[in-house]
Chain A
Amino acid sequence: MKTITLQVSRFDPAVDAEPHFEEYAVRVNEGARVLHALHAVRDGHDPTLTYRYCCGSGQCGSCAVRVDGKPVLACMEEARDGMTVEPLDLPVLKDLTVDMEPVIAKIARICPAPDAVLPAKEEIEAIKPLRDCIECLCCVSACPALQVTDFAGPTVIRQEMRLALDPRDSGDRIADAIAKGLFYCTTCKRCTEVCPKEIDIPGKAIEKLREIANRRGLTLPRHREVARLVQETGRSVERTQPTFLEQVPEVIEPDGPVRGEVGFFVGCMFNGRVPQTALDAMEVMKRNGIRVIVPHDQVCCGSPLIRTGQTSFVEDLKKKNIEAFARRGIATVMTICAGCGATLKNDYETPFEVKDVTEILTEYGIEPTARLDVTATYHDPCHLLRGQGISEQPRALLREAVREFVEMPTQCCGAGGGVRSGVPEEAKALGAKRDECVKATGADVVVTVCPFCEFHIADCTDVPVKNLTTILLEGYRKKDAEREGSA
């Protein structure tokens, strides 16, 4: 047995205007779960503590709560000393119980055709990954789109795809899914991260439903424009200025001895919209002895098309890109765009390794910069954090380059999944939430590693937003200036 202290959110609508925390110290067994700590509070301190639970083994989805802010099943999450336990981010009935029924009521029911027969094995196998849902509503609690739109919720869309895959179902699942907010999803994958069953709702439901919608001509007009642009130009961004590729040779040699060599997958944002950032990054690579090979025949990675369900010619793009790098015998391809990186890593089968710039720089080790005299915060790009599992490397690099580093809560900026172009008011509302977080940190600069996040957050806040490589370059310039000044 051990003693742990926990903060539990209490709320009785008959008495309280708003929820408040109560602290309890309880004795629990080794390996006790959050649920057992709640039992200990109820049985030892306050029998009126209200929370739901039933199966105790992660199968019924009754007991989801937020522990230290993250939605989890109380019966599966290990109890920690000092933890806070709050209800899911849904209307609270009492203490830790929330009103689940209105959300569950939105989850579609199958409408079997009268002549329904047993599906074939491959049909069953396709449905199964979407069938594990226990309707715990962790995803609904965590989804950023729900904070600013009337999106019905990740698991609601999951069910639409489960039904779309079932030959027995007679409903129109695409119309339903669109009505329930199919195009509101930013594909940030926060739902998958908190799902006790790890269901990949963006990849296996949202994007697949958008594909079917696309085949029926129901893709949003703004998304169709992007697809047309990619088809015609190979790029998702219109040329309004000299592009990155127009400004650099195929091989960028480092200043000093060659310590390593990477191919650079530029991506449309860096190439067309913010080429200066990519040029800054090249300076950082040169300074650190890394030769960069930039095949000029590379094209859009296809991410804007895959996320919006417009996949008809994505295979051509993949083939072109893979050939562009493979033909030059490149073993490691670097991305600086989180979206391109996640796409190359997760949607491609490449004969070369793909690494984010922060992985490359961390592995090789970089020349220390001078510390910039600023307080910086870091925005986790969804496609870097969850798409590639990278969170530590950029922070480690940033901490060394600035006077002070402060964390801010992680949340999608609102730009991804075609939302910035397709549902701009949602993107703006989520961007405004980022601005609130940025302001709360008091930081002088927001740093990130995704041009899409950078561009969007910059639109939503008056605090400067910069790519990490730009910060590094500024650090080197400061270092050089100090050196010259002292010389």
Chain B
Amino acid sequence: MVLYNAPTNKMHADEIVDAHVLVVGSGGAGVRAAIEASRYGDVVMVSKTIAGKGGCTTMAEGGYNAVLRDRDSVDVHREDTLKGGAYLNDPALVDALVREAPERMADLVRWGAVFDVTEDREIAQRPFGGQRFPRTCYAGDRTGHEMIMTLLDRLDATDTHLYQEVSVVDLVKDENGAVAGAIALDRDGDVVLFRADATVLATGGGTQVYDISTNSAAGTGDGFAMGYRAGAELIDMEMIQFHPTGAVYPYDARGRLVTEAVRGEGGILLNARRERFMKRYDPDRMELSTRDVVARAIATEVLEGRGTNRGGVYLDVTHLPAEKIETRLPVMLEQFLAYGVDIRREPMEVAPTAHHIMGGLRITPECRTTLPGLFACGEVAGGVHGANRLGGNALAETQVFGKRAGESAGKAPARNGRFDEGAIDEQLRMLDGFFEGAISPADVRRDLKLTMWNQAGIFRNAPDLRTALGHVRRLADQRLCAASTANLLECCTVRNMCTTASLIVRCALLRPENRGAHVRLDAEIATDPATSPFSHTYVSLAREGIERREVTA
């Protein structure tokens, strides 16, 4: 195994875990990838939490979009997704998503998932925002939890080796520049090396870089940062989904997700004057407009003085039968009751919260990144959702692209390349350096989150973004201090958060238009999503910019 040599205070690694496929991340996409890859060879899955307890799949409440009925069609799902994404989505990825979501749902059911069903023994579906057919499958409001439990059952039936509470801190390349594995820290801060023919990055999202976020503590953007440092290209990192409905109080629970299913089941939004204000923003779709529109509507109501004293608006389900709330929204009921609010009798107070990163590593439909040997799937990959993700498409994405990534990685050829020893030495020196650092990672984290919320949030402009970028870079240059070996991970995590935040801000500066979730109050160019001349922003160690596209009117 791998040792931290206390007397000399130097890190070194002298044993390596080998695998055909290394999967980094244990959320819906990672586990699905491991299941698929295990059909082709040895798989090692590395999870920074106990598997099933980390990531956002476990927390996902509302549902999984899949076309299951004759009256619905994959063409309509495709159009809804593209329109919702302000036509920034990669059409080939959308095509894979909508075509394969039903098959992947069938896998889950075959493996034992307990989705709600109708009297006619069909998977039940509920309406979600921005969709013309109620195609969101669900298990109450604990859909993601149901999925992850099922996926872990299935994973257990494979030969996958699971390393729990082991955190990958960087990708490692071979002498040819291909990704050949990863360097990780275990619970005690000891170094573990993983070497693989193919590596799947399935590390999920990173909206913990914002002060107000729905993400679990694990949503720190590690995969974006590690991919970037390894040289992969990322796209559309400015596209941050602010979920319209996050909890407002108590202070420490701010940002906690209030599922879109609340509105899907009939919940209405009211401002402090008890006006159903969505009629002024999207009179056709009202509360079930797309998330970017609803989030901006709520933010605008609050900014213009029509919010509650706590800076939110009301989300009300008191007109629904109590029984429906109890059976369809039990988690919501339980969470609000814990804070003294009975949602059967009084409205919730909600405000936008950073929820999902639409951007990520650029992938092909086979989940290849721009780096040989590296595959990506789930939230860490970009392009599926364009400029705004539809509720219910993320869980579907984890399954469709998890399978694709696992298959592609599984089919990857054996490689004989050797680890770039120099790079590993550099990693170990970097880790060592944290023992001589000066500043607490907790302080940097707090500062970073506030900076991002205040200067790179829902409404943006160039001066604020430039200020944010300068500040994030200064934070990234701070010499973080590890109080013990076990605290090395916290330093690595905060470093990743700084990197991810800088990618978001850089891309936000690159896109001069308003598009989906990205709003530049100083936009000088008015574009229509369907005909915008702009396509993806891109950023890598080598280059950054924004793509232009030919649009046929």
Chain A residues near B (Cβ < 8 Å): 28-33, 36, 42-43, 46-48, 50, 52-62, 76, 93-94, 100-101, 104, 109-112, 116, 118-121, 124, 127-128, 131-132, 134-135, 166, 168-169, 197
Across the interface, do B250 and A31 meet the contact criterion of CB distance under 8 Å? yes
Answer whether A48 and B111 are a contact pair too, CB < 8 Å, given A55-B58, A110-B153.
Answer: no
- Report the separation of the CA atoms of residues A429 and B249 in the bound assembly, to the nearest whole angstrom: 47
- Report the separation of the CA atoms of residues A119 and B149 in the bound assembly, to the nearest whole angstrom: 17
Which of B117, B250, B330, B338 meets A118, CB within 8 Å?
B117
Is B331 in the interface zone, CB < 8 Å from A? yes
Q: Closest residue of chain A to B483, judged by CB?
A: A47
- Report the separation of the CA atoms of residues A55 and B52 in the bound assembly, to the nearest whole angstrom: 11
Across the interface, do B339 and A31 meet the contact criterion of CB distance under 8 Å? yes
Q: Say which one of B10-18, B139-147, B222-230, B460-468 lies at the interface with A.
A: B139-147
**CB-CB < 8 A to A111: which residues of B?**
157
- Report the separation of the CA atoms of residues A76 and B337 in the bound assembly, to the nearest whole angstrom: 10
Q: Closest residue of chain A to B106, judged by CB?
A: A118
Answer whether A31 and B110 are a contact pair too, CB < 8 Å, given A54-B53, A56-B217, A104-B50.
Answer: no
Across the interface, do B252 and A33 meet the contact criterion of CB distance under 8 Å? yes
Which of B49, B145, B440 meets A59, CB within 8 Å?
B145
**CB-CB < 8 A to A109: which residues of B?**
152-153, 156-157
Is B309 in the interface zone, CB < 8 Å from A? no
- Report the separation of the CA atoms of residues A58 and B484 in the bound assembly, to the nearest whole angstrom: 29
Is B118 in the interface zone, CB < 8 Å from A? yes
Across the interface, do B112 and A166 meet the contact criterion of CB distance under 8 Å? yes
Is B280 in the interface zone, CB < 8 Å from A? no
**CB-CB < 8 A to B109: which residues of A?**
118
Across the interface, do B256 and A43 meet the contact criterion of CB distance under 8 Å? no
Distance in angstroms from B209 CB to nearest chain A CB is: 16
Sample of 14 further A-B pairs with CB below 8 A, known A94-B486, A101-B50, A101-B164: A31-B249, A33-B253, A54-B54, A55-B59, A56-B256, A57-B257, A59-B59, A111-B157, A112-B110, A121-B118, A131-B139, A132-B330, A166-B114, A169-B112
Distance in angstroms from B34 CB to nearest chain A CB is: 15
Across the interface, do B251 and A48 meet the contact criterion of CB distance under 8 Å? no
Across the interface, do A54 and B217 meet the contact criterion of CB distance under 8 Å? yes
Distance in angstroms from A168 CB to nearest chain B CB is: 6
Q: Closest residue of chain B to A165, judged by CB?
A: B114
- Report the separation of the CA atoms of residues A59 and B115 in the bound assembly, to the nearest whole angstrom: 17
Across the interface, do A60 and B114 meet the contact criterion of CB distance under 8 Å? no
**CB-CB < 8 A to B121: which residues of A?**
118, 120-121
1/0 contact string of B192-228 vs chain A (CB within 8 Å) = 0000000000000000000000001110000000000
Distance in angstroms from B108 CB to nearest chain A CB is: 11
Q: Closest residue of chain B to A168, judged by CB?
A: B112
**CB-CB < 8 A to A124: which residues of B?**
114-117
Across the interface, do A120 and B112 meet the contact criterion of CB distance under 8 Å? no
Across the interface, do B142 and A132 meet the contact criterion of CB distance under 8 Å? yes
- Report the separation of the CA atoms of residues A59 and B114 in the bound assembly, to the nearest whole angstrom: 17
Across the interface, do A61 and B123 meet the contact criterion of CB distance under 8 Å? no
Which of B119, B149, B218, B250 meets A121, CB within 8 Å?
B119
Across the interface, do B111 and A47 meet the contact criterion of CB distance under 8 Å? no
Q: Taking each of A46, A53, A118, A197, which has the highest tally of chain B beta carbons within 10 Å of its own beta carbon? A: A118
Across the interface, do B218 and A54 meet the contact criterion of CB distance under 8 Å? yes
Which of B146, B216, B252, B442 meets A54, CB within 8 Å?
B216
Distance in angstroms from B453 CB to nearest chain A CB is: 17
Distance in angstroms from B457 CB to nearest chain A CB is: 20
1/0 contact string of B328-345 vs chain A (CB within 8 Å) = 001100110011000000
Across the interface, do A30 and B53 meet the contact criterion of CB distance under 8 Å? no
- Report the separation of the CA atoms of residues A220 and B322 in the bound assembly, to the nearest whole angstrom: 43
Q: Pick 26 A–B contacts, CB within 8 A, sort by A.
A: A28-B252, A30-B250, A32-B252, A47-B490, A54-B49, A55-B216, A55-B217, A56-B256, A57-B253, A57-B257, A58-B331, A58-B334, A61-B53, A94-B486, A101-B50, A109-B153, A110-B111, A110-B112, A112-B112, A118-B122, A121-B117, A131-B139, A132-B142, A134-B145, A166-B112, A197-B334
Distance in angstroms from B248 CB to nearest chain A CB is: 11
- List which B90-127 residues lie within 8 A (CB) of chain A: 109-112, 114-119, 121-123
Q: Closest residue of chain A to B122, judged by CB?
A: A118
Answer whether A56 and B251 are a contact pair too, CB < 8 Å, given A62-B53, A93-B187.
Answer: no
Answer whether A135 and B52 are a contact pair too, CB < 8 Å, given A43-B442, A48-B483, A59-B331.
Answer: yes
- Report the separation of the CA atoms of residues A132 and B149 in the bound assembly, to the nearest whole angstrom: 10
Q: Which 6 A-B pairs have the closest CB atoms?
A: A31-B250, A110-B112, A47-B483, A29-B251, A43-B442, A109-B153
Is B308 in the interface zone, CB < 8 Å from A? no
Distance in angstroms from A70 CB to nearest chain B CB is: 15
The dominant DSSP class at the A interface is: loop
Is B427 in the interface zone, CB < 8 Å from A? no
Q: Closest residue of chain A to B484, judged by CB?
A: A48
Is B487 in the interface zone, CB < 8 Å from A? yes
Answer whether A118 and B123 are a contact pair too, CB < 8 Å, given A60-B54, A62-B49.
Answer: yes
Distance in angstroms from A113 CB to nearest chain B CB is: 10
- Report the separation of the CA atoms of residues A31 and B249 in the bound assembly, to the nearest whole angstrom: 8
Distance in angstroms from B339 CB to nearest chain A CB is: 7
- List which B317-362 residues lie within 8 A (CB) of chain A: 330-331, 334-335, 338-339
**CB-CB < 8 A to A93: which residues of B?**
187
Q: Closest residue of chain B to A163, judged by CB?
A: B112
Answer whether A59 and B111 are a contact pair too, CB < 8 Å, given A29-B250, A118-B117, A119-B117.
Answer: no
- Report the separation of the CA atoms of residues A30 and B150 in the bound assembly, to the nearest whole angstrom: 38
Q: Closest residue of chain A to B440, judged by CB?
A: A47
Distance in angstroms from B81 CB to nearest chain A CB is: 26
Distance in angstroms from B119 CB to nearest chain A CB is: 6
- Report the separation of the CA atoms of residues A166 and B483 in the bound assembly, to the nearest whole angstrom: 49
- Report the separation of the CA atoms of residues A197 and B335 in the bound assembly, to the nearest whole angstrom: 11
- Report the separation of the CA atoms of residues A28 and B252 in the bound assembly, to the nearest whole angstrom: 9
Q: Closest residue of chain B to A93, judged by CB?
A: B187
Across the interface, do A57 and B59 meet the contact criterion of CB distance under 8 Å? yes
Distance in angstroms from A72 CB to nearest chain B CB is: 11
Across the interface, do B53 and A47 meet the contact criterion of CB distance under 8 Å? no
Distance in angstroms from B212 CB to nearest chain A CB is: 12
Across the interface, do B335 and A58 meet the contact criterion of CB distance under 8 Å? yes
Across the interface, do A100 and B50 meet the contact criterion of CB distance under 8 Å? yes
**CB-CB < 8 A to A52: which residues of B?**
49-50
**CB-CB < 8 A to A166: which residues of B?**
112, 114
**CB-CB < 8 A to B335: which residues of A?**
57-58, 76
**CB-CB < 8 A to A61: which residues of B?**
53
Q: Closest residue of chain B to A104, judged by CB?
A: B50
Across the interface, do A60 and B487 meet the contact criterion of CB distance under 8 Å? no
**CB-CB < 8 A to A169: which residues of B?**
112
**CB-CB < 8 A to B145: which residues of A?**
59, 134
Across the interface, do B153 and A59 meet the contact criterion of CB distance under 8 Å? no
Q: Closest residue of chain A to B48, judged by CB?
A: A54
**CB-CB < 8 A to B486: which residues of A?**
48, 50, 94
- Report the separation of the CA atoms of residues A112 and B111 in the bound assembly, to the nearest whole angstrom: 6
Q: Taking each of A48, A57, A132, which has the highest tally of chain B beta carbons within 10 Å of its own beta carbon? A: A57
Across the interface, do A47 and B442 meet the contact criterion of CB distance under 8 Å? yes
Distance in angstroms from B247 CB to nearest chain A CB is: 9
Across the interface, do A53 and B217 meet the contact criterion of CB distance under 8 Å? yes
- Report the separation of the CA atoms of residues A48 and B117 in the bound assembly, to the nearest whole angstrom: 47
**CB-CB < 8 A to A30: which residues of B?**
250-251
Q: Closest residue of chain B to A198, judged by CB?
A: B334
Across the interface, do A59 and B142 meet the contact criterion of CB distance under 8 Å? yes
1/0 contact string of B472-493 vs chain A (CB within 8 Å) = 0000000000011011001000
Distance in angstroms from B18 CB to nearest chain A CB is: 23
Answer whether A60 and B117 are a contact pair too, CB < 8 Å, given A29-B251, A109-B156, A112-B110.
Answer: no
Q: Closest residue of chain A to B50, judged by CB?
A: A100
- Report the separation of the CA atoms of residues A36 and B59 in the bound assembly, to the nearest whole angstrom: 19
1/0 contact string of B35-77 vs chain A (CB within 8 Å) = 0000000000000011011100011000000000000000000
Q: Closest residue of chain A to B49, judged by CB?
A: A54
Distance in angstroms from A403 CB to nearest chain B CB is: 41
**CB-CB < 8 A to B253: which residues of A?**
31, 33, 56-57
**CB-CB < 8 A to B142: which residues of A?**
59, 132
**CB-CB < 8 A to A43: which residues of B?**
440, 442
